Amino acid sequence: MLKEALIIIINICGLLFNKEVAKRSIVYSYRHGFSGFAARLTEAEAESIAEFPEVVQVIPNRIYKLQTTRSWDFIGIHHQSRKNALTKNTGKGTIIGVIDSESESFNDEGMPPIPSRWRGICQEGEEFNSTNCNRKIIGARWFVKGFTEEIVRPINMTAYGEFLSPRDGNGHGTHTASTAGGYFVKQASYRGLAAGLARGGAPLAHLAIYKACWGIGGCTNADLLKAFDKAIHDGVDILSLSVGNAVPLFSYVDHRDAIAIGSFHATAKGITVISSAGNDGPTSQTVSNTAPWLITVAATTIDRAFPTAITLANNDTFWGQSLDTGRHNHVFASITYSERISAADSVDASAKDCEFGSLNATLAAGKIVVCFSSIDDQQDIASASNAVKEAGGVGVIFAQFHNDGLQSCDIPCVKVDYEVGTQILSYIRRARSPTAKLSPPTTVIGKWMSPRVATFSSRGPSSLTPAVLKPDVAAPGVDILAAFPPSETKPREGYYTFLSGTSMACPHVAGITALIKSVHPDWSPAAIRSALVTTATQTGTDGASILAGGPNRKTADPFDMGGGHVKPSRAMDPGLIYNITSDDYIQYLCSLGYRISSIVRLIDTQITCSPHKRHVVLNLNLPSITIPNLKTTTTVTVTRTVTNVGDSDSVYSAVVRAPPGVEMRVEPQVLSFGNTTTRVLSFKVAFSSGQRVHGDYRFGSLTWTDGKHRVRSPVAVRVIRYEAYADV
C-alpha cells in the first residue's frame, strides 16, 4: 500500500466524498471560518479527491517554525517602545488571539469583564485547568493532532518540557502574548537589566491562546488551520501569528498554506491578522507570510543598549554588549584566543572557532577565551560559550559580524565587533601574561540611534507576488523584555526575559492594532493596515533616515521595512485610508489562477473572476505601489481609492517623490472631500521611464496631505529592458 500522509482538504460546505475514506482517517474537520477536513490519505486518494469540483484546495501537512531568531534558545527581551506608551487608550475590550505555544497565566487585576460576545473556552490538559483562565486570558485551546501525525515515533512531550495542554513549554507564546496584551507589571526586569514598568501594547485587551506550536518541533498546517477555525468561531478581533517557514519558496507558493488560507477567511470575517516577516535577512526575497491580507511585520532595534566593559591589564577598556548580570564573578583572569588553545586533534580547517570539543581543556582552564565567528559559520555566542565552559574557561569574548540580538550564557560572555575583537587579539599577542576582566552590563536608554532594521529581519520583495509590498511595517523586535514561564532549568530567571526576532515585532503591532480597534471598531483589516503603513516613519531618533542592518549598513528601503517604523499615535488618525474588500482579494486569487467558484461560495459572495487579470495585482488597493517590471518606453497606470476617515471638507494634495529615473504622474493632484457626501475618491498614478538600461528597484513615495495629515505610500519600481533575467 502507498504511504499515507496527512492531507488537508478545503471543500465547500459539508460535502464528503468517499465516506469510508473519511471515517477511517479524519483527523480534524474545519467548520467555522471555512469548510474542510484534514485526513490521513494516500497520494492517490488525495489526487482523486482533488478532482472534485467542490474541492478548493488539497494541501499536505507541513511543519512551520516559530520565528524567534535563527537560534532556538535565544534568551531575550521586551521593550515597550516608549513611543507607544501613548494615551490612556489601552485596547479595552478588544480580544487578541495569539496562535502560538502559550500559556502561563496572566494577572487579571483591573481587567474589564469578559465581553458577552465571547464564545471561546478554557480547554484543560496537563498542568492546565479552567482556573488558569481569567479576565486577562479569556480562552485557551490546544491543537496537537497534526503535529503528532508528523512524528515518526510517539514522543514523551513532558521529557522535552512540553505539556499536552495550553500550558507554555518553551516560553515563546508567553513572551509574544505578554508583548501584545500583558497587563502592567511594576519593576519588571531581567536580573535588574532593563528595569521598569512592563506592559503589553494593549494592557486592557483580553487574550485568547491557541497553542498550535510545539517547542520540540514547530507547528503544522493541520493544527494551525484548526486554530484559525476555532479563533474565528470564538470571536477574536485580532490574531497574532509569530510563525512562518524558513524557506519561503517552498511553502508560500501561491498561498496554499495554512497561514494564508486561515488568515484569508479570518480577514473576510473582519479579523485583523498580524504575522512576522521571518528571520532570514538580510538576504532579499526572504520575506514570509506574503499574502496581501496579512499585516507582515519586520523587526527593528530600539534605543536601548547593554554596554559591557572589557578591561585589559594595561587598563585599556573596550566595549561590547552582554546580558550577563547578577550571577557571575567579574574578576581579572588570563585571556587567550581559541587558536592558541585548540586541541591537537582538532585541526579541521573548516571547524568553527570555539566549536564544542575543539579546545584543549588543559590550556583553556581558568581563562577568558576570544572567539571569532565568520559570516559563514553561523556559530552563535551561546554555543561558543558552551564550548569554552566545557573546556574549563571562565569567560568568552565573541567577535562577530554585525548581527542583532543578545543571549545570556552560563559563563560571562560579551559580544564585540571585529574591530574590538582584533584589538584585543593584538593585545594578547603582545602581552607577556595577558589578563582581562569582563564587567557586568549596564542599561543605557535613549543614547542610541534607533530604530534600525534588524540584520536578521527578512527582506522583500515577495518572491511570489513582487507587486504586493512585503513586509508592511516594522516594529521593535531586538532584545525585547517580556514575560517568560519559569522552568526547572531556569527557575525564577523566567518571568521576564529577553528575546529577539520578528516574532517579537509581530505582537507589538497586534497590541497597537488593539488600540486602533478600540477607537475605530468598524475599521476593516485593510483600513487598519493602511493606517499603520501610511503613518509609519522613515526617520530615526537622530532625525536621519532609518538604516537597515547587515554586513553593510544602508538606508532602509520599503523591502526592509515596508511603510516604515510604526507610529501608533499617528495611526489612530491617518486622515485617509486605502480600503480593500474580500471581493478584491478574491480577484487577486483569481489572477493567481485559483478555482474561484468554490472560494466564492465559501465566503458567501456572488462574484465571478474578472477577465482582466493583467492589472489586478497592481490595482489591488494597497497602501503601497510596487511595479516589478516597468518596461522602458511604456507607461503603466495604477488606480488607487482613498476613504476619508478624518474631518469632512478636507482637501488633500499629492506630494510626489518619483523613484530616480522614473517619471511618476498623479491625476488628479488634488482630492476634495465635501463635508458629508464625498468620502471615497479615486486617483491614477502613471509610471514611465526613458531609462535605457535594465535596472534594479528604485524607491520613492506618494504622500497625500491636507496640512494636518500625511498619508504616505511607499513606491518601488524596477525598470526592465529584457524579460530574460532580473537581478534583485
Can you say whether the dihedral through the CA atoms of 167, 172, 177, 179 is positive or negative? positive
- The radius of gyration of the chain from alpha carbons, rounded to an integer in Å, stands at 26
CB of 503 to ligand NAG, least distance (A): 28
- Alpha-carbon gap, residue 358 to 469, rounded angstroms: 45
Give contact residues for ligand NAG (rule: CB under 6 A): 129, 131, 314-315, 343-345, 360, 362-363, 522-524, 527, 577, 579, 581, 643, 645, 649, 674-675
- Alpha-carbon gap, residue 239 to 232, rounded angstroms: 9
Query: In 3-state terms, the chain is what percent helix, strand and coil (to 5)?
Result: 20, 30, 50
Strands 625-631 and 710-720, bridge-based pairing: parallel
CB of 131 to ligand NAG, least distance (A): 4
Q: Is residue 692 within 8 Å of residue 652, measured between CB atoms?
A: no
> Between residues 344 and 349, which has the closer beta carbon with respect to ligand NAG?
344
Catalytic-role residue among 78, 79, 172, 265: 172
CB of 341 to ligand NAG, least distance (A): 8
Residue 450 catalytic?
Answer: no
Grid coordinates representing 432 are: 607577556
> Between residues 70 and 520, which has the closer beta carbon with respect to ligand NAG?
520
> Between residues 434 and 700, which has the closer beta carbon with respect to ligand NAG?
434
Please state whether the peptide bond connecting residue 248 to the residue before it is cis, i.e. omega within 30 degrees of 0: no
> Between residues 400 and 713, which has the closer beta carbon with respect to ligand NAG?
713
> Between residues 253 and 331, which has the closer beta carbon with respect to ligand NAG?
331
CB of 132 to ligand NAG, least distance (A): 7
> Between residues 11 and 621, which has the closer beta carbon with respect to ligand NAG?
621
Kind plus residue range of the DSSP H or E element containing 455: none
Residues 6+ apart with CB under 8 A from 217: 63, 147, 150, 151
> Between residues 408 and 621, which has the closer beta carbon with respect to ligand NAG?
621
Q: Which long-range contacts does 156-163 make (Cβ < 8 Å, 24+ apart)?
A: 157/126, 157/214, 157/216, 158/126, 160/215, 160/216, 161/215, 161/487, 162/214, 162/215, 162/216, 163/125, 163/126, 163/127, 163/128
Catalytic-role residue among 35, 71, 81, 100: 100
Q: Is residue 545 within 8 Å of residue 539, measured between CB atoms?
A: yes
CB of 311 to ligand NAG, least distance (A): 9
Grid coordinates representing 295 are: 499585516
> Between residues 152 and 344, which has the closer beta carbon with respect to ligand NAG?
344
270 CB neighbour count, 10 Å cutoff: 15
Kind plus residue range of the DSSP H or E element containing 425: helix 418-430
CB of 527 to ligand NAG, least distance (A): 4
> Between residues 56 and 527, which has the closer beta carbon with respect to ligand NAG?
527
Residues 6+ apart with CB under 8 A from 587: 607, 609, 610, 616, 620
CB of 37 to ligand NAG, least distance (A): 29
Kind plus residue range of the DSSP H or E element containing 459: none
Q: Is residue 628 within 8 Å of residue 461, measured between CB atoms?
A: yes
CB of 362 to ligand NAG, least distance (A): 4
The phi, psi pair for 5, rounded to 5°, reads -140, 160
Q: CA angle, corner 598, sides to 593 and 604, nearest 5?
A: 120
Q: Is residue 718 within 8 Å of residue 662, measured between CB atoms?
A: no
Q: Is residue 69 within 8 Å of residue 170, measured between CB atoms?
A: no
> Between residues 220 and 524, which has the closer beta carbon with respect to ligand NAG?
524
CB of 678 to ligand NAG, least distance (A): 10
- DSSP letter for each residue of 515-546: HHHHH-TT--HHHHHHHHHHT-B-B-TTSSBP
User: Smallest Cα–Cα separation from 285: which of 460, 155, 119, 120?
Assistant: 460
Grid coordinates representing 547 are: 538604516
User: Smallest Cα–Cα separation from 322: which of 173, 457, 191?
Assistant: 191
> Between residues 359 and 506, which has the closer beta carbon with respect to ligand NAG?
359
Cα dist from 702 to 124, 417, 640, 653, 705, whole Å: 51, 38, 11, 10, 10
Residue 100 catalytic?
Answer: yes
- Alpha-carbon gap, residue 368 to 372, rounded angstroms: 13
CB of 133 to ligand NAG, least distance (A): 11
Residue 503 catalytic?
Answer: yes
Catalytic-role residue among 105, 383, 503, 688: 503
CB of 659 to ligand NAG, least distance (A): 29
Q: What residues are annotated to the active site?
A: 100, 172, 503
